[in-house]
């Protein structure tokens, strides 16, 4: 089955890639409409048969945030709260959307007051069964970047600190293209949207990640 989605997450995963986006329906006038699951935009996350579902870099090297991707879906393969997962036989870029607030607003989550049910950095495995989604696009009320050392080698991790619906979050940034151009464009931190992803279990917790930073041009 063929489907199309706008790419809103593009991160590194086990030295390969993880992409995801919201499904679109092409209208008779050539424009696109957002497909929804109830009141929430419907997400698609292509996964491979590799151990962690990572997508080979060679298959998605030309795909960037806000590109429209055509995917041939072999079957859906939800994994616990990661209900968006699908196996695929092919992926290709077929277009893109303009980086405008008016476009991105169509994809933003307007239902959940907290990110994956709480205001912390992660969701405990004891309550993960209460979560039935692992991706959301949001527009933060404020956003700044902080650098943080995270291991004995003094490696630096970039984290996004932002306010959303009255709560403050501090989450690691995994957006591949953003990490590659930081710090040259680190002043462009207003007028943006964030894609937040919920990762697999690590020491009893599922951590929240900033998998996409989309800086709009209006």
Which domain covers residue 127, as residue numbers? Answer: 103-215
CATH of the domain at 125: 2.40.50
Give the C-alpha separation, 54 to 81, whole Å.
Answer: 17
Strands 43-47 and 85-96: parallel
Burial class (CB in 10 A: 0-12, 13-18, 19+), 88: buried
Same domain, 60 and 127: no
Same domain, 80 and 126: no
- Give per-residue pLDDT as tens, 1-43: 999 999 999 887 767 789 999 999 988 888 899 999 888 999 9
Same domain, 205 and 107: yes
Same domain, 175 and 79: no
CA 110 distance to own-chain centroid? 16
Q: What is the pLDDT of residue 154?
A: 61
Same domain, 90 and 107: no
Stretch 100-122: mean pLDDT: 95
**Contact status, residue 165 vs residue 113, Cβ threshold 8 Å:** yes
**Joined tokens for residue 179:** 């990490």
- 100 CB contacts (<8 Å, ≥6 apart)? 216, 217, 218
Q: Is the pTM of this model over 0.85?
A: yes
Mean pLDDT (the chain) is 90
Q: Which of 97, 130, 147 is the last residue of a domain?
A: 97
pLDDT band at 179 (very low <50, low <70, confident <90, very high): confident
The CA–CA distances, whole Å, from 28 to 31, 37, 97, 120 equal 7, 22, 17, 43
Same domain, 178 and 206: yes
Q: What angle do CA 164, 170, 173 make, to 5 degrees?
A: 105
User: What is the helix (H) or strand (E) element at residue 9, kind and residue range?
Assistant: strand 2-13
Work out whether the CA dihedral 148, 154, 187, 115 comes out positive or negative.
Answer: negative
Work out whether the CA dihedral 108, 114, 116, 119 comes out positive or negative.
Answer: positive
pLDDT band at 165 (very low <50, low <70, confident <90, very high): very high
- Give per-residue pLDDT as tens, 68-91: 999 999 999 999 999 999 999 999
Q: Which of 45, 66, 97 is the last residue of a domain?
A: 97
Same domain, 154 and 112: yes
Same domain, 108 and 84: no
Same domain, 136 and 180: yes
b (16+ CB within 10 A) / e for 180-216 = eeeeeeeeebeebbbbbbbbeeeeebbbbbbbbbbeb
Number of domains in the chain: 2
């Amino acid at each position: 089955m063929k489907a199309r989605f706008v790419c809103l997450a593009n991160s590194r995963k086990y030295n390969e890639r993880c992409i995801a986006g919201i499904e679109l329906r092409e209208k008779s006038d050539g424009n696109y409409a957002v497909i929804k699951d109830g009141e929430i935009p419907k997400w698609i996350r292509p996964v491979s048969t590799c151990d962690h579902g990572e997508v080979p870099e060679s298959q998605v090297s030309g795909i960037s945030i806000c590109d429209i991707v055509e995917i041939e879906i072999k079957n859906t393969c939800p994994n616990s709260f990661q209900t968006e997962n699908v196996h695929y036989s092919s992926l290709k870029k077929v277009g893109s959307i303009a980086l405008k607030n008016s476009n991105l607003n169509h994809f933003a989550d307007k239902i959940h007051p907290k990110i994956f049910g709480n205001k912390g950095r992660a969701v405990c495995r004891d309550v993960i069964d209460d979560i039935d989604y692992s991706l959301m696009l949001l527009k933060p009320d404020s956003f700044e970047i902080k650098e943080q050392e995270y291991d004995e080698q003094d490696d630096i991790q970039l984290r996004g600190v932002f306010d959303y619906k009255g709560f403050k979050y501090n989450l690691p940034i995994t957006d591949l293209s953003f990490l590659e151009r930081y710090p040259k464009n680190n002043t462009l931190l207003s007028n943006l949207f964030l894609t937040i992803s919920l990762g697999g279990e690590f020491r009893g917790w599922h951590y929240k990640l900033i998998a996409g930073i989309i800086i709009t041009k209006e």
